[in-house]
């Protein structure tokens, strides 16, 4: 995977090689309370929940559980911090950018600790946490720090009697509900554009992976953000998440997660105060591999797309359409490549494949693998748990997959690569588009004419040509169809966090 220019298991030129990760003990995890108004507080109802290391099954710590009453307090703090005349609203735009840069500096300072905690909480390999998630988080903060003093409107001369100007103003209090697969990176994708535009934020991290988000609370306070600008409420979807979606004083919700939950959030937003929504949802992403491609590149990139983060990505390359003349060779090379994947302890730098996040996700993946066997797909590699008492699943390859099969239609969110064959470009595009999802797609070909023609025909928000998972802070990200609403990242995300106000002036009549 490539995130902001850094290759998986590789180092960017400006990043020094780190030493081996230091063990993080339970007593070293300091931030486990709710973060409201720059203070660490306990749950209103005195409840806590456990977070576990999915690689070992061991409990890491207990975290304070926020519910509706805690969300109310967080929203009140955010609303007060965003009022006209508050320290945050009086701050000039350049100073907002300086705060975001300062926060990025602190993340860089703590990057080894944050990467280690991210690996403990999610099970993703340490080098991926360090060189993908942390690099992407820092670059996202710095990108939006640069935008803070460049958000402006236009002057519009209507006629001799009137002139209009437009202003881009903060939306207000923004709720951010983030997923468990990229908890730190998604935290940045939400707060960086929101703060750049002058909003205040209430963040609910996923209950499976709250620890890096809570550590960010300490850095936000240390950076000097005014109290109440960012609030963090760890808790569960049906309680804390629902409270955010339904809250009458939250003006916008940004959510990353499943399509089904996104539908619930959009319904709640409509039934409450018609708050804005940005939804980054599921994907069943097609890759089209033409016979004239660089075959080894296509094998490696599509497989990285399928197996990265144990397949727990909305961008997972889960439908690979290969031109018939190279299909058998592609399958053979894919099997050879999969055999090189190192499954093991996520803190071991040699490991490239960790566990699934929890038992529920593990069971869902294994059920879909069994359905693939039963429906007639050919299991070419993997398809079994690594052991009877763990959440590790072998990287799995199916060939001979047909469009009607469950593994061809449902989002697996696990390490399963489905390989199809096709005969014509028209057929490949038609089948690629035959999904309710439209998040990302990829094309592998040496013909730029073909690549541009096919990219125009694909119904996805992102199309990668001869690459995969190339995500950058400058480039907008979001989906067509049931893969979501709105865009994150890039200049386009700023529109999701501002209201446009038109002011019209009556001019004196010309002499």
Q: Strands 484-485 and 276-280: what pairing?
A: antiparallel
Both tokens of 259, joined, read: 């399509």
Q: How far is CA 380 from the centre of its chain?
A: 30
Domains, in order of start, for the chain: 34-281+487-499 (3.40.605.10), 285-477 (3.40.309.10)
Return the pLDDT at 225.
98
| 3-class secondary structure, 308 | helix
CA distance 74 to 334: 49
CA distance 429 to 270: 35
Nearest alpha-carbon partner for 28 in 75, 60, 76: 60
Both tokens of 45, joined, read: 């109802």
CA distance 322 to 417: 12
DSSP 275: -
Return the pLDDT at 158.
86
φ/ψ (deg, to 5) at 122: -110, -25
Q: Which listed residue (280, 323, 411, 488) is catalytic?
A: 280
> Are 199 and 276 contacting, i.e. CB atoms less than 8 angstroms apart?
no
280 among known catalytic residues: yes
> Are 476 and 280 contacting, i.e. CB atoms less than 8 angstroms apart?
no
| 3-class secondary structure, 411 | coil
Per-residue pLDDT of the chain (511 residues; tens, 9 = 90+): 444 443 333 333 343 444 444 444 555 688 999 999 999 999 999 999 999 999 999 999 999 999 999 999 999 999 999 999 999 999 999 999 999 999 999 999 999 999 999 999 999 999 999 999 999 999 999 999 999 999 999 999 888 889 999 999 999 999 999 999 999 999 999 999 999 999 999 999 999 999 999 999 999 999 999 999 999 999 999 999 999 999 999 999 999 999 999 999 999 999 999 999 999 999 999 999 999 999 999 999 999 999 999 999 999 999 999 999 999 999 999 999 999 999 999 999 999 999 999 999 999 999 999 999 999 999 999 999 998 779 999 999 999 999 999 999 999 999 999 999 999 999 999 999 999 999 999 999 999 999 999 999 999 999 999 999 999 999 999 999 999 999 999 999 999 999 999 999 998 875 5
> Are 292 and 443 contacting, i.e. CB atoms less than 8 angstroms apart?
no
Both tokens of 143, joined, read: 């990108």
DSSP 376: T
Nearest alpha-carbon partner for 236 in 385, 70, 18, 9: 70
pTM of the model: 0.93
Q: Strands 396-399 and 416-422: what pairing?
A: parallel
Q: Is 216 exposed, middle or buried (0-12, 13-18, 19+ CB in 10 A)?
A: buried
CA distance 306 to 468: 10
Both tokens of 23, joined, read: 């063990």
> Are 82 and 199 contacting, i.e. CB atoms less than 8 angstroms apart?
yes
Return the pLDDT at 27.
53
Both tokens of 260, joined, read: 């089904």
**CA 138 to each of CA 4, 17, 105, 355, 410: distance values in angstroms, whole numbers, following the listed order:** 10, 17, 8, 26, 33
Return the pLDDT at 388.
78
């Amino acid at each position: 995977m490539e995130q902001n220019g850094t290759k998986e298991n590789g180092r960017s030129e400006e990043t020094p090689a780190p030493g081996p990760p230091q063990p993080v003990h339970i007593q070293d995890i300091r931030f486990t309370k709710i973060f409201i108004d720059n203070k660490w507080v306990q749950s209103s109802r005195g409840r806590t929940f456990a977070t576990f290391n999915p690689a070992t099954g061991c409990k890491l710590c207990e975290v304070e559980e926020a519910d509706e009453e805690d969300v109310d307090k967080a929203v009140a703090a955010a609303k007060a911090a965003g009022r006209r005349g508050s320290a945050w609203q009086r701050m000039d735009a350049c100073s907002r950018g300086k705060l975001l840069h300062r926060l990025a500096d602190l993340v860089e300072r703590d990057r080894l600790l944050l990467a280690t905690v991210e690996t403990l909480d999610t099970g993703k390999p340490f080098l991926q946490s360090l060189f993908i998630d942390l690099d992407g988080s820092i670059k996202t903060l710095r990108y939006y720090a640069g935008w803070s003093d460049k958000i402006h409107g236009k002057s519009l001369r209507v006629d001799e009697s009137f002139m209009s100007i437009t202003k881009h103003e903060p939306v207000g209090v923004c709720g951010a509900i983030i997923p468990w697969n990229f908890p730190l990176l998604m935290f940045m994708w939400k707060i960086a554009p929101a703060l750049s535009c002058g909003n205040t934020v209430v963040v609910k991290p996923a209950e499976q992976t709250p620890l890096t988000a809570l550590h960010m609370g300490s850095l936000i306070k240390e950076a000097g953000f005014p109290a109440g600008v960012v609030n963090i409420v760890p808790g569960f979807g049906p309680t804390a998440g629902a409270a955010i979606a339904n809250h009458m004083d939250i003006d916008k919700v940004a959510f990353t997660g499943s399509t089904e939950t996104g539908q619930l959030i959009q319904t709640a937003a409509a039934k409450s105060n018609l708050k804005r929504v940005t939804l980054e949802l599921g994907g069943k992403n097609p890759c089209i591999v033409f016979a004239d491609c660089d075959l080894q590149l296509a094998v490696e990139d599509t497989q990285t797309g399928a197996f990265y983060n144990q397949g727990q990505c909305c961008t997972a390359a889960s439908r690979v359409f290969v031109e018939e003349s190279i299909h058998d060779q592609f399958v053979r090379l894919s099997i050879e490549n999969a055999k090189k994947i190192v499954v093991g302890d996520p803190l071991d730098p040699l490991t490239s494949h960790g566990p699934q996040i929890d038992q529920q996700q593990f069971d869902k993946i294994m059920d879909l693998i069994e359905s693939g066997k039963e429906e007639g797909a050919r299991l070419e590699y993997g398809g079994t748990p690594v052991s009877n008492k763990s959440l590790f699943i072998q990287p799995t390859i199916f060939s001979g997959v047909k469009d009607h099969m469950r593994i061809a239609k449902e989002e697996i969110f696990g390490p399963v690569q489905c390989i199809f064959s096709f005969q014509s470009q028209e057929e490949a595009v038609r089948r690629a588009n035959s999904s309710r999802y439209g998040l990302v797609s990829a094309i592998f070909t040496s013909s730029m004419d073909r690549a541009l023609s096919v990219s125009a025909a694909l119904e996805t928000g992102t199309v990668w040509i001869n690459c995969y998972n190339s995500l950058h802070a400058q480039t907008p990200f979001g989906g067509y169809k049931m893969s979501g609403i709105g865009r994150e990242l890039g200049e386009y995300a700023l529109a999701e966090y501002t209201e446009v106000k038109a002011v019209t002036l009556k001019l004196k009549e010309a002499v």
